[in-house]
Amino acid sequence: MAEIGKNIIFIGLVIVVIGIILNLSGKLPFELGKLPGDIIYKKEHTTFYFPITTSIIVSIILSLLFYFFGKFFR
């Protein structure tokens, strides 16, 4: 039962962090998804969007969060 409790706390903390990021996203000096390095290809009837830089930044942040929460809940 203690393991389930730790997992619920972890999920709750992740949701809180995501909520804080979403609330602060309007106050950041840049927009995620429109960073230098993100590829946008526009033609008449087609738009192709590939957020490489945004994906890397989100991956690094999530990796750090999971690493630190993993250390905390062992």
More confident residue, 5 or 72: 5
**Residue extents of the structural domains in the chain:** 2-72
Q: Please write the tens of the pLDDT for every residue from 16-41.
A: 988 887 787 776 666 666 788 888 88
pLDDT of residue 60: 93
Please report which confidence band the pLDDT of residue 45 belongs to, taking 50, 70 and 90 as the band edges: very high
| Percent of residues, the chain, with pLDDT higher than 90 | 12
Task: Quote the Cα angle for 53-11-28, to 5°.
Answer: 35
Write down the pTM of the prediction: 0.57
* Alpha-helical regions (H) of 1-74: 2-24, 52-72
